[in-house]
Structure 1
Amino acid sequence: MNWQRYYKFFNYLNIAEADYFATPEKATQAISTYNRALRMLKNNKDQTEAIKLIQTIADDYPMFPEPSHIYGIHLAEQGEYKEALEYLKRVSLLDITDEMANMLQEQFVVIERELKAERSSARTQTQKTKETPQNKKASLGSVLQKAPKHHNKESLSKSEINAINKKLGNEDPSDLSEEIARENRVSDRRFLISVFVVAVLVISIFYFVIRPAVVNRLDGGQTVNQLQWLENEITDRAKDDPEINKLLNDYLSEFSDESDK
């Protein structure tokens, strides 16, 4: 439908014909802008700028019927029928001329027909969408029936699968057996080293600390026993031998003095 043919039915306005939708000052400015935009539309010049001006006036002055009517026609021309209907319904509620009312009636019929066609197309598309999965399923089933079976054949080698899994970060536990064994060997080696170090430490403490102390203690006790035995022997034998008696006296004199000290 040629929606632009309706533009020729709109007339230029003056302030006396439009002072009811705004104050005189604002109405004068709105009328001036409307006339300029209408002239551009009729002369098929700067259509985009003209529509922008018409939309601005229609939104700023909803009681001004002509701009809303023209913008509604433009929306219908663009296929935006629901939005066009909103602007045209607004116009139908205003005090308009019979000519505008006749145009609106014709436009309502055309827009309603287009909306009905859109709803029908949407239902058809919805039905196709619902049927599509079944068709795809049937096609897939057909392909699967025709496809060769490879149940007993491995499509990828184990090394290839492992490589893919490693890239994805999904390593197979069986692929980690070597690494686990290596970690176990390292752990065992560390344990043996620890045991060896502890053993060396214990042996060193025994030989260099405990054993000398024990030996010194034992040696000291043995020496005392030996000296005690020697003293007893000298004492017994000094009765019969003057020289031994003299040696005993010297010994007692010497070591008694040291003991007193």
Structure 2
Amino acid sequence: MHRASSSVSRRLLPAVLLLPVLLGLGACGGADKIVFVYPDEALDFQLRNLKMPAVYIDAVTDMRPPEQRQGQGHFFTIVYPKDEAWEVPATQVYGEALAKDLAQTHMLELVPLRAQAEYTLSADLFSMACRLERSPAAFLLTGAIGAGAGVALGEDGSDRAKLAAVLGAVAIAAIPVPTRNIAEVDVRLTLRDNDGDIVWQKACLGEVDENKYLTPTAREDQQLVNEHLTRAVKRANACLLGQLRQFLLEEGQRRAEETEKAGG
């Protein structure tokens, strides 16, 4: 009997030692601050032969719901990154992304001072977050796989029960399962003239919804932000800047016609 117990212990030891290591990796994976690595813009939105208007970027107002600012959930549904997880505030993250897209699309001239501008552009940030969703059924399956291996390897009833319990837990912690990853960015841009009157205002929603295999101990927040949230921002901005370009084009043509008539 003593030999059988020792045999079980020897087989269980690697799995028992592995389990806290896996859990420890999951616990410390989200410790680093999230940075926003925003891709370059390839579109060229030049306004044909019209003069580029001078625009000053004003404030980005944070109007995100509390669950995004504070984070929400722990395992099956997680909303992230919360405010304290960002390296810089979320409003600064979006403001810098917007400025980068505006500069690289060549549709207007960004100026550092409000007094130099023909227009002032502001943003209301309604949503900017990721959501990770895990299915309980997936973990039942991986646990069953591990437990089945334990039953197959066990020598007797007690041995099989112990191996099944430990290997089931290790399988749940170690085997990647499908997760749903949703990134959402909802922004409203407002353009004002030098009198402070609103001349253009639009809101756009950018979304990315993809599946990815992850272990339950994995905290790949930075990678998922890079893969999904950056693209959601890009989609929202593409929608907004396309409509802004149309307004600036029509306004530029109108001014050019007025100047031509005045000169004639």
Query: Is the shorter-chain TM-score for this pair beyond 0.5, marking a shared fold?
Result: no
TM-score (norm 1): 0.23
Larger Rg belongs to = 1
**Larger RCO (CA within 8 A; separation ≥ 6):** 2
Higher percent of residues as helix: 1
